[in-house]
Structure 1
């Protein structure tokens, strides 16, 4: 029997996943950082002090897909609702990401292989795939049955790892 989906696709990002990603990214002075799906702040709470942070969160009445909001940014980091991940990526890429920006989306690796998204990947090829190991646990303890990665588009040359890299939980300081 399939597990029921959690309301509004709310699967909070484990802090070690965010910390591991941030160890790979050079956040520059003056960079504006956006978090399109703030949730309970798991990502925004880990962001460095001193940079402007913009956020959206549907449960707080701020819908990222609403074209009337300003979410323009140099760096975009999010764990999108999987049911709307394509729309979030397209919105970030077409509306919000600076010309020399960097964006990282937490996605299931299986999301890459969909026949329906093949043309999308050709139009928006990513530059980095940062695979999380072990599989993150989003709810209840234990891991998901899916592999996850930060899929990144790094036009700003901020990511300081090879195009394909593994982010290991045990290498993150102060694992959360």
Structure 2
């Protein structure tokens, strides 16, 4: 029995995954932070109120890939729909991320190992791979047998960890 995909790939990010990532980023006082796939706001809700934020959300008729507003930012953090992840990455890197910006996308590690995506990763090489352990649970309290990581492009040296690091749920500050 195969599970059906949820409409628009809406798989809310577990809060511990957001907190684990945010604890690794050194934000600058004037950073503008963008969330291209706001969903129910789990990423933006964990940011300090002093941060200037921008967001898009297709269910609210704000399509990040075709915005009606300026989405330029110093930091971009999102859990994109997996079916459109490459489009979101390329758009963010070529259109919106500042020259010294930092970008983190929550993705399945299997996104890295496809022959059809090999040239994409050469064109847009990431700088940091922050692997989540244990596997996050997105729907109904269970895991989907996929490994996940925050794949990051850190042009601004905001990430406080080596290129490969494991983010453990047990170490997340609550």
* TM-score interval for Structure 1 and Structure 2 normalised by the shorter chain: over 0.9
Aligned residue pairs, count: 174
Q: Which residue in the other structure is 1:150 paired with? A: 150
Q: Could you say what secondary structure the match of 2:139 adopts?
A: coil
Structure 2 residue 140 is the aligned partner of structure 1 residue 113: no
Partners in 2 of 1:173 and 1:94 — Cα distance?
A: 33
Taking structure 1 as the reference length, the TM-score comes to: 0.97
Moved over 3 A (4+): none
Aligned pairs (5 A) from 1:80-99: 80-99=80-99
Which whole-Å deviations, capped at 9, do the CAs of 1:15-66 have from their partners, x for residues lacking one? 0000000000011100000000000001010012211100000001100000
Please list every run of 5 or more consecutive structure 2 residues that lacks an aligned counterpart in the other structure. Answer: none
In structure 2, the residue corresponding to 1:66 is in which secondary structure? coil
Give the whole-Å Cα distance in 1 for the aligned partners of 2:81 and 2:57. 11
Q: Normalization by structure 2: what TM-score?
A: 0.98
**Aligned residue runs from structure 1 range 27-66, under 5 A:** 27-66=27-66
- Ranges in structure 1 where 5+ consecutive residues have no aligned partner: none
Cα offset, 1:82, TM superposition:
0.3
Q: Quote the Cα distance in structure 2 between the aligned partners of 1:8 and 1:140.
A: 17
2:129–2:149 contact (8 Å) kept in structure 1: yes
SS of equivalent residue, structure 2 residue 98: strand
